């Protein structure tokens, strides 16, 4: 049998047509439906038409969402044109059967999806797109949002039955249907969500030990870590999970998972959590991977239905959801962007199109970053974190690191980026910082001498120059009294030096506010309470200074115990009343949780006396700035000759004027400038060019 050639089923217009696969049924007379050879035919159909009224798209198809797995194609599917499946009058169709090589993962999926007596029409990226034709691939990737939105159903194939998955799928269907019948979906609105907890507070799994272990295996399936599944999962109204021969609608799974999370909350408060094995299992399942997927789907479905105030997710929001504190894989680094274009509601506005002909991934990422900043999202810079790595994957699954240099201001969108210390839920939370004040908008600066696409010009204000940084960055915020003793000590030393400076950085209130900076800065001036929720600015909670003192006293308590013999240490600890204070939340636990927000940052002091937290690699001489339209400050560094040369085609000269070129260092908190104070000093406004 010859190898299939895509020239036999060409796409006349790759920008408007797609190939579909008609998967033939297994021989109904066969005793083994599953093992029968795979057979199909390929044909083309329009997916975009200029006149839907006169030329409607009538071909119905299902789209498959799955994991390719190893790229090695060890299986095959026969493409047949012989009777009874032949099309005698069709032009340019070969008369001899041929075969398409497919991966093991796709082979298993097709054997489970295949119907015993009826054909199934499918769109499958591995077969429907000529993967070796980069021009066609670019057009088809651009169409993927349309493809999945047009499918009559999306089949999310997560693999064969294994590790109790049949029980999990059954439990998902039953509990999800119970939640739907109980009307729980009507509570997923801001004004009614608080009523949901009392309704299901007494729901518990029937057989928690068994179901938790099976759920753990289910959530660990590779499909949940794949990038392309996000848009595949979100765009079709009828989307189902397929595992083995079990099928469950994704909405039922969503409801079941949310019930599970409520149950886990109840279980964590119960006696079972004192059993180590049980506690481990509960925590493993609590960290399940579907939250971001369901969030993206719900927001997109509401947007497509035209519901009031349903804005959908922009590309920047999707990048943040999927690459910050998460690991979402993609075999080619550029696909970290391309895999989301069909889902992002601002793709046309950004003007980003898939390009598989350009070999430089850095050029692609830079163009995307510039487009996002130009639409007003200067907070994209919060995720420009080092050390940057452009990662691609070889066919054997190993990592191939790219040596391309990214401009200092461009995020690499690698998995596991740190969340910004100024994380808020934009759909529900109000902003608490506005460092550029008022309704300031991002100003993208241009200069005829700054023509390089690697340079980003932004209007903004200089706050001050960093005079001193703490010896250590706060890279580990797990409890260790010795570590926290060092952290508090670093902050106190800088605070004492700040008090010696006479510049009135807080105006008439400088003396009092300098005192307060000691407890404001370590938590980024935001305080969170388990009882009251996020309260915004720490200064609005009178007792935060007390909580800071309690946290400091707790650290000193354990430091003192360290100096004692074991018997004396235990006696002194028992006599201190620590257990009671801890049970009452009087050991600064919540203040310490607030400090966790600043993980990866380093305390600094500026020349005028501002106290703040900056990037881990901040150093003396760096400049703290606020960009127009920015909520928080950032730290810049005067560009080196090498960086200038990279931006200016080899010329190590600041062609824009002395001191105008900077490298980007990272985000910052700077006490006393978070409410637009610096904007009043008009003389500080200038253009910054980042290389």
Interatomic CA distance for residues 652 and 649, integer angstroms: 9
CA-closest candidate to residue 607, choices 497, 464, 500:
464
Q: Token pair for residue 611? A: 């106290």
- Judge if 332 and 300 occupy the same domain: no
- Residue 218 and residue 256 in contact, taking contact as beta carbons nearer than 8 Å: no
CA-closest candidate to residue 530, choices 159, 265, 163:
265
Q: What is the Rg, in whole angstroms, of the alpha carbon atoms belonging to the chain?
A: 29
- Judge if 592 and 610 occupy the same domain: yes
Characterize 148-161 residue by residue with b for buried, 16 or more Cβ atoms within 10 angstroms of its Cβ, and e for exposed: bbbbeebbbbbbee
- Judge if 99 and 128 occupy the same domain: yes
Interatomic CA distance for residues 11 and 136, integer angstroms: 8
Q: How far is CA 531 from the centre of its chain?
A: 28
- Judge if 288 and 385 occupy the same domain: no
- Judge if 502 and 414 occupy the same domain: no
pLDDT of residue 644: 78
Q: What is the DSSP string of 406-437?
A: PPTTS----TTBPPPTT---TTTPPP---TT-
> For the packed helices 510-520 and 544-561, what is the interaxial angle rounded to 10 degrees?
50
Is residue 337 included in any domain, yes or no? yes
Is residue 229 included in any domain, yes or no? yes
- Judge if 408 and 328 occupy the same domain: yes
Q: Could you give the residue ranges of the DSSP H alpha helices within 239-395? A: 250-268, 276-286, 291-305, 315-323, 335-338, 347-350, 361-374
CA-closest candidate to residue 594, choices 484, 466, 673:
484
CA-closest candidate to residue 421, choices 170, 237, 632:
632
- Judge if 552 and 675 occupy the same domain: yes
- Judge if 547 and 601 occupy the same domain: yes
Other CB atoms closer than 10 Å to residue 574's CB: what's the count?
10
pLDDT of residue 193: 44
Mean pLDDT by 10 residues, the chain (691 residues): 89 93 79 84 84 66 89 86 44 67 94 92 95 92 92 95 89 84 60 46 45 74 87 94 93 84 59 49 59 88 89 93 81 88 94 84 92 96 90 67 84 91 80 90 81 88 97 92 95 97 92 95 86 69 90 96 93 93 91 93 97 97 97 96 72 55 97 92 87 93
Is residue 500 included in any domain, yes or no? yes
Is residue 460 included in any domain, yes or no? yes
Interatomic CA distance for residues 35 and 26, integer angstroms: 9
Last residue of a domain, one of 151, 175, 199: 151
Last residue of a domain, one of 263, 285, 305: 305
Q: What is the DSSP string of 618-683?
A: --TT-EEEEETT-SS-EEEEEPPHHHHHHHTTT--S-TT-TT-EEEEEEE-EETT-TTSGGGG-GG
Is residue 426 included in any domain, yes or no? no
Q: Assign residue 507 a region (left: φ > 0; alpha: ψ between -120 and 50; beta: otherwise).
A: left
- Judge if 141 and 204 occupy the same domain: no
Q: Token pair for residue 472? A: 């250590």
pLDDT of residue 57: 63
pLDDT of residue 25: 92
- Strand-pairing partners, residue 624, are 464, 635
Is residue 513 included in any domain, yes or no? yes
- Judge if 269 and 204 occupy the same domain: yes
CB burial of residue 378 (10 Å; 0-12, 13-18, 19+)? buried
Is residue 436 included in any domain, yes or no? no
Interatomic CA distance for residues 284 and 208, integer angstroms: 13
pLDDT of residue 194: 44
Is residue 191 included in any domain, yes or no? yes
- Strand-pairing partners, residue 615, are 601
- Judge if 33 and 117 occupy the same domain: yes
Q: Token pair for residue 164? A: 């109790």
pLDDT of residue 85: 40
Residues 6+ apart with CB under 8 A from 77: 38, 39, 40, 99, 100, 102, 107, 110, 127
Range of the domain at 108: 2-151
Number of domains in the chain: 4
pLDDT of residue 212: 61
- Judge if 520 and 501 occupy the same domain: yes
Last residue of a domain, one of 282, 305, 328: 305
Phi first, then psi: give them for residue 185, nearest 5 degrees.
-65, -25
């Amino acid at each position: 049998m010859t190898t299939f050639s895509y020239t036999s089923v060409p796409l006349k217009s790759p920008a408007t047509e797609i190939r579909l696969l008609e998967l033939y049924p297994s021989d109904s007379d066969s005793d083994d439906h599953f093992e029968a050879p795979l057979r199909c035919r390929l044909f083309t159909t329009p997916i975009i038409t200029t006149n839907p009224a006169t030329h409607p798209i009538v071909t119905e198809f299902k789209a498959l969402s799955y994991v390719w797995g190893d790229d090695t194609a060890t299986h095959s599917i026969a493409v047949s044109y012989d009777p009874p499946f032949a099309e005698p009058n069709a032009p340019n169709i070969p008369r001899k059967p041929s075969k398409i090589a497919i991966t093991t993962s796709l082979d298993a999926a097709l054997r489970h999806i295949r119907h015993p007596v009826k054909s199934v029409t499918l769109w499958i990226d591995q077969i429907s797109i000529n993967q070796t034709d980069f021009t066609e691939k670019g057009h088809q990737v651009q169409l993927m949002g349309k493809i999945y939105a047009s499918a009559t159903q999306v089949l999310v194939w997560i693999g064969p039955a294994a590790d109790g998955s049949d029980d999990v799928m059954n439990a998902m269907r039953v509990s999800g249907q119970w939640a739907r019948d109980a009307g729980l979906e009507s509570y997923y609105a801001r004004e009614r969500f608080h009523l949901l907890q009392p309704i299901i507070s007494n729901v518990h799994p029937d057989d928690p030990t068994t179901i938790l272990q099976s759920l753990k295996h289910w959530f660990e399936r590779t499909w949940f870590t794949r990038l392309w599944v996000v848009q595949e999962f979100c765009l079709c109204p009828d989307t189902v999970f397929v595992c083995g021969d079990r099928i469950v609608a994704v909405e039922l799974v969503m409801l079941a998972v949310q019930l599970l999370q409520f149950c886990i909350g109840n279980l964590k408060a119960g006696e079972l959590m004192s059993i180590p094995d049980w506690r481990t299992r509960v925590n493993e399942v609590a960290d399940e991977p579907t939250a971001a997927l369901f969030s993206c789907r719900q927001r997109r479905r509401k947007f497509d239905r035209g519901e009031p105030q349903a804005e959908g997710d922009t590309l920047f929001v999707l990048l943040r959801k999927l690459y910050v504190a998460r690991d979402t894989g993609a075999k080619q680094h550029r696909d970290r962007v391309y895999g989301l274009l069909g889902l992002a509601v601002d793709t046309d506005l950004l003007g980003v199109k898939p390009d598989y002909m350009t070999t430089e991934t850095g050029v692609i990422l830079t163009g995307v970053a510039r487009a996002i900043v130009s639409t007003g999202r200067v907070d994209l810079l919060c995720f420009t974190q080092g050390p940057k790595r452009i990662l691609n994957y070889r066919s054997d699954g190993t990592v191939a690191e790219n040596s391309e240099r990214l401009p200092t201001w461009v995020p690499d969108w690698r998995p596991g980026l740190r969340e910004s210390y100024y994380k808020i839920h934009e759909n529900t939370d109000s902003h608490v910082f506005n460092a550029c004040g008022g309704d300031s908008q991002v100003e993208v600066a241009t200069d005829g001498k700054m023509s390089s696409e690697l340079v980003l010009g932004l209007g903004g204000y200089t706050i001050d120059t960093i005079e001193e940084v703490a010896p250590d960055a706060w890279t580990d915020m797990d409890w260790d009294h010795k570590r926290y003793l060092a952290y508090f000590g670093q902050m106190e030393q800088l605070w004492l030096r700040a008090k010696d400076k006479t510049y009135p950085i807080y105006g008439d209130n400088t003396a009092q506010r300098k005192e307060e900076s000691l407890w404001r800065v370590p938590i980024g001036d935001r305080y969170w309470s388990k009882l009251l929720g996020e309260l915004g600015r720490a200064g609005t909670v009178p007792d935060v200074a007390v909580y800071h003192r309690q946290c400091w006293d707790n650290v000193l308590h354990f430091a003192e115990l360290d100096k004692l013999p074991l018997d004396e240490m235990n006696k002194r600890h028992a006599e201190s009343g620590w257990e009671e204070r801890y049970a009452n939340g009087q050991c600064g636990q919540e203040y310490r949780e607030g400090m966790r927000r600043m993980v990866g940052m380093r305390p600094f002091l500026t020349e005028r006396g501002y106290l703040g937290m900056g990037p881990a690699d901040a150093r003396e001489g760096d400049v703290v700035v606020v960009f127009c339209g920015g909520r928080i400050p950032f730290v810049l560094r005067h560009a080196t000759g090498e960086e200038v040369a990279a931006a200016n085609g080899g010329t190590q000269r600041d062609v824009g004027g002395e001191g105008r070129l900077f490298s980007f260092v990272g985000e910052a908190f700077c006490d006393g400038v978070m409410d637009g104070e610096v904007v009043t000093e008009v003389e500080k406004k200038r253009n910054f060019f980042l290389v």
